[in-house]
A and B are shown apart, each in its own frame.
Chain A
């Protein structure tokens, strides 16, 4: 027990700081995202900011999330049941304490949500008057004692007290430590259950009020049909895929039927989605989808190049020779240089002046000077023009301006990736390579069949970091962004920034940030599933 106490004491400073400056603001941003908030707090808008961004998709997603939460409660309970069956008796007695703890946490959350508007209002009360500490303390006390917040506080306090009493009793009657895992499982299960139910209720409520608003306008929002079609589309896709996969393991008769069924599910699901999603996308915020497209271009244009260049460099540098340390330091230099400085330099190198270095190079080669970061035309379109064939609009590719930014990004991160690849190479046993060489494998074969597979954990890690990085990329794009490029370099995060700081739509920008957060999380999940299964841990 002393051990626990020490541990909590040790993590306390970090936890408090990270909670205050990392988690509380997220909750706050969530609160903002549900309001009209232009400079000052406006009306509560529920999910309308989200609906404006991704249209009815938000309702679909939230229902899916609620169902996911309930499903994970089921899984958790199944795990507990399994453990009980394995002979860890007495677990069910923990249902009650678990509920109590979860309730306390929820009561605390509720209290903060009730208190927050009161505290925010203090900003208006002290607007421009003389500020003393007594005044603040008094106002804070007042905010605390508003009936709602006060009641919320007592509910939380009561539950906390009960939790402590129960914990103390429980500690006395059961042997402490042993059932800790079960207790936290139950607590989490209750929490997630409450979360799932709350979410489902809230979403339902929002859909109903959206219908009401639409009814008054005399239009039909068509949310329920969309939820049903998109939901069943996804379910069919997943189910079809599962059936197809499991059919592969069955014997012939069943396999055929299973495959047919699976393929049918896949087809119908895909058909439903293809029919519905473009409609949803078209009625959401077009800038969002544009930003997403730019971000995807940016990812595709940086991550593979960055990784292959750095892998090549790492393999060359791995052979110890005179000066290899020097090269390693130099390649790493761009990574430690402040973004503002190096991006400013790139802006000058890729200036559209004919005197600028890159254009001078082109002129020396007898080529036309280019607009570089001011060129909104697609790179493939431009290539096509030079080579003399027309490229259709959908294949225009990223704008040249974006390509310059990709070049900058590759330039910055190759050094970092190289260092990590070098470490990865250091972990490969030389015996394996030597053995292969004795067997007569050529250099390419050794690389292809031994080095590359053994490096897959490194590649996995690097691609993960790089993809998240491209979705969060902001500073250098902001510095290199020119109005002439008419938005062709505005990635999703740039878009969030302009909504927030230029258009001052705090509420909407916060909603967009959560959409971005959801995208990053699901990308990580997919990356984990797809690439993670192929990683070879040697």
Chain B
């Protein structure tokens, strides 16, 4: 093997690496194009005049910012926005408390009937949801009737049914089960009970899955539509999805306004996602693998 050949080989290797890199970037960019084109189209359309939105144009000739103002006012988003934030916050708090406690017990304490109860819970995830709506509506009205506060047209009907989330319990249990036993033994030595161990040791370790629950629970209550419509009769507690829905119903023929309205409602989700995406993807991956 002489020197020429070696340098030729090295050159070839370099070309190959470039080609490979080029191929990688090309494929990824192509994928990226497909993934975000709908978003770009949506944003561009939301800035168009009606005629442009229904025509062939991709780029608006001038930016109609007023579409957003019109959509905001006509859909009365400010009230709905606040409601959605309140609903999401209550649901989130409740769901986190309930699921953390249950997940801890399922993961770290052995008690009779544990696997049976957990199995029954899991199986409920596979039931088509539409048949559950009417019975749940009846339950909610009944609890509201005999309980201390009304549920219909009020926050309990919109939040409490979503606090017991099988998915959250499952996700957290998977994570809690991975916490090493030694940590618990050590904590026991220091005289800590379950609750203290959970609060002081486990929770700080579980930031990532907690973040997933935050995001999913937020998205869930932000997008809920059919149920809120059923359990509310006025705008006092109606969430933003209802606002968007009735707005689309009225403005269905005005594509530009519709897209502006839709974009307004997804902005908060995008913000939350961008801020939590690191933990989010990390723990989705973890939960996925252990399923």
Contact = CB atoms under 8 A, between A and B. Distances in A.
Answer yes or no: A and B touching, Cβ < 8 Å: yes
B99 A14 contact: yes
B98 interface: yes
A18 B27 CA distance: 45
B247 to A, nearest CB: 12
A137 B146 contact: yes
A355 B24 contact: no
B136 A331 contact: no
Interface majority SS on B: helix, strand, loop or mixed?
A: helix
A420 B285 CA distance: 5
Give the interface centre of B101, B222, B270 by most chain A CB atoms within 10 Å: B101
Contacts of B130: 474, 493, 496-497, 500-501, 509, 513
Give the interface centre of B38, B116, B219, B274 by most chain A CB atoms within 10 Å.
B38
Contact of A11 (B105, B138, B193, B248): B105
Given A18-B121, A330-B32, A509-B131, 16 more contacts: A4-B109, A14-B164, A25-B131, A123-B138, A312-B27, A316-B27, A327-B28, A333-B39, A345-B39, A348-B41, A355-B54, A355-B55, A414-B35, A420-B288, A472-B126, A497-B130
Interface in A406-437: 411, 414-416, 419-420, 422-424, 426-427
B288 A461 contact: yes
**Consensus secondary structure, chain A interface:** helix
B169 A458 contact: no
Interface string B54-82: 11101000000000000000000000000
A328 B282 CA distance: 11
A309 B28 CA distance: 11
A179 to B, nearest CB: 11
16 contacts: A13-B102, A14-B164, A15-B117, A16-B164, A26-B127, A29-B135, A321-B24, A328-B281, A331-B31, A332-B277, A411-B38, A420-B288, A423-B286, A423-B289, A472-B128, A496-B128
B191 interface: no
A462 B288 contact: yes
A21 B113 contact: no
Interface in A279-323: 309, 312-313, 316-317, 319, 321
B86 interface: no
Interface in B75-110: 97-99, 101-102, 104-106, 109
Given A316-B24, A340-B241, A513-B128, A18 B164 contact: yes
Interface stretch (A193-201, A241-249, A516-524): A516-524
B17 to A, nearest CB: 11
A322 to B, nearest CB: 10
B251 interface: no
A442 B145 CA distance: 70
Given A321-B24, A331-B31, A340-B223, A14 B101 contact: yes
B127 A517 contact: yes
Interface string A317-349: 101010000011111111011111110111011
A472 B129 CA distance: 8
Interface of B: 21, 24, 27-28, 31-32, 34-39, 41-42, 45, 54-56, 58, 97-99, 101-102, 104-106, 109, 111-114, 116-117, 120-121, 123-124, 126-132, 134-136, 138-139, 142, 145-146, 160-161, 163-164, 166, 169, 193-194, 215, 219, 222-223, 225, 241, 244-245, 248, 255, 258-259, 262-263, 265-266, 269-270, 273-274, 277, 281, 284-286, 288-289, 291
Nearest to A23: B124
Contacts of B266: 337-338, 341
Nearest to A458: B289
Contacts of A524: 126
A28 B244 CA distance: 32
B284 A4 contact: no
Contact of B219 (A338, A414, A462): A338
Contact of B284 (A136, A140, A419, A472): A419
